[in-house]
Chain A
């Protein structure tokens, strides 16, 4: 028995139509038994994305200030469940009680959000090999631009043994045995010290959407941004699926896969029915962690040797299967096509069984 979705129940109520009538239509519009939905989904997505390679988009102006990668590579990233996207970015909605006007937003971005490292404010450095000291010269303009408290920089450099500090220049004398060898390493270490902001967030742009401020960033760090009190913790998004899975769980990752795939396809004007994406996303998240559509992911879970063989690396799969004495049960599509048999979908799956006791009534039964 199928329940009518709430959406249609409400529709029936508002229009005064009998619910059963809608239910009948709803049941008729569901898929038929043994319909190969996986093959249809695969076809529907790949057919659309094959057009994406042909279309190269030229965007004029600075409409998209935060860069996004092209359609096809991004789709591959999503469905392969890669660890880090090529251009990680976040969309952050703000807490309306804490942030009221543009000035607050600006302060939030510079003081708390965007990561500022020492190398961003460092103008030059001099290495003194005789005294075994390094002189760091800072850029006065960028310090005031980024609203940095210079005393904080001094605090951060304390472990390196400050010898002398003047206005916008600091002399440090680290205690190392082989100073001449280590000097460059020390400087690189100092350059990468974070002064303020959140690690990994490189740039931020403010937009106004529906009368509220939205921040889009380059670089992503979901866990730390969620802990800031200026953001709305229910509406902080990243485009990194694995990161979302780790911080928010498997259901959030599944929703993000659908959302990102749909967004990427829509960006190049392609239309794919959301049901196909739901199916792929559900399959990718079936096991409780995100598994990509690759030979190490979903395909490797198939119990059929010939299906795995048909996907990639036939020789390796066949050799492994024979070494481990695997059985092939011919339950799936590819292996039946390879061996030239009727595929077990649609009418190929249904068989007519005649009872031997003389009754003429046959009954349909799945084999």
Chain B
């Protein structure tokens, strides 16, 4: 079994707890359906054991902004 999350191309990922999701949606003033998506069968969501409707937070290494956060909702 390959450890997908350890690969250099994949940014750090974690499932956001419920309170943080509410806080995030409040801050961005949007609903869950407006977020970018990730498939339920995607290797990353499989590795994190994510369920439908979860929000996964990625901490990307960006060349211009250092570290940046990106959110995807599991569909």
Taking Cβ atoms with an 8 Å cutoff, the residues of A that contact B are 5-8, 223, 226-227, 233-237, 244, 246-252, 255-256, 274-275, 278, 282, 285-289
Check if B10 sits within 8 Å of A249, measured CB to CB: yes
Residues of A within 8 A of B11 (CB): 251, 255
Residues of A within 8 A of B58 (CB): 251
Q: Which of B11-53 contact A (CB under 8 A)?
A: 11, 13, 36-39, 42-45
Name 14 interchain pairs, CB-CB below 8 A, sorted by A: A5-B62, A8-B66, A233-B3, A235-B8, A236-B7, A246-B43, A248-B4, A248-B10, A249-B45, A278-B64, A286-B37, A288-B37, A288-B39, A288-B42
Q: How many B residues are at the interface, by size bracket?
A: 20 to 34
Check if B7 sits within 8 Å of A234, measured CB to CB: yes
CB contact under 8 A between A252 and B37, given known A5-B67, A5-B68, A288-B72: no
Other-chain residue from A234, A244, A246, A275 in contact with B6 (beta carbon distance below 8 A): A234
Q: Report the separation of the CA atoms of residues A237 and B44 in the bound assembly, to the nearest whole angstrom.
A: 17
Other-chain residue from A7, A251, A274 in contact with B10 (beta carbon distance below 8 A): A251
Q: Report the separation of the CA atoms of residues A10 and B33 in the bound assembly, to the nearest whole angstrom.
A: 35
Check if B75 sits within 8 Å of A288, measured CB to CB: yes
Q: Report the separation of the CA atoms of residues A21 and B67 in the bound assembly, to the nearest whole angstrom.
A: 20
Other-chain residue from A226, A237, A274 in contact with B64 (beta carbon distance below 8 A): A274
Other-chain residue from B63, B67, B68 in contact with A274 (beta carbon distance below 8 A): B63
Q: Report the separation of the CA atoms of residues A246 and B38 in the bound assembly, to the nearest whole angstrom.
A: 12
Check if B44 sits within 8 Å of A6, measured CB to CB: no
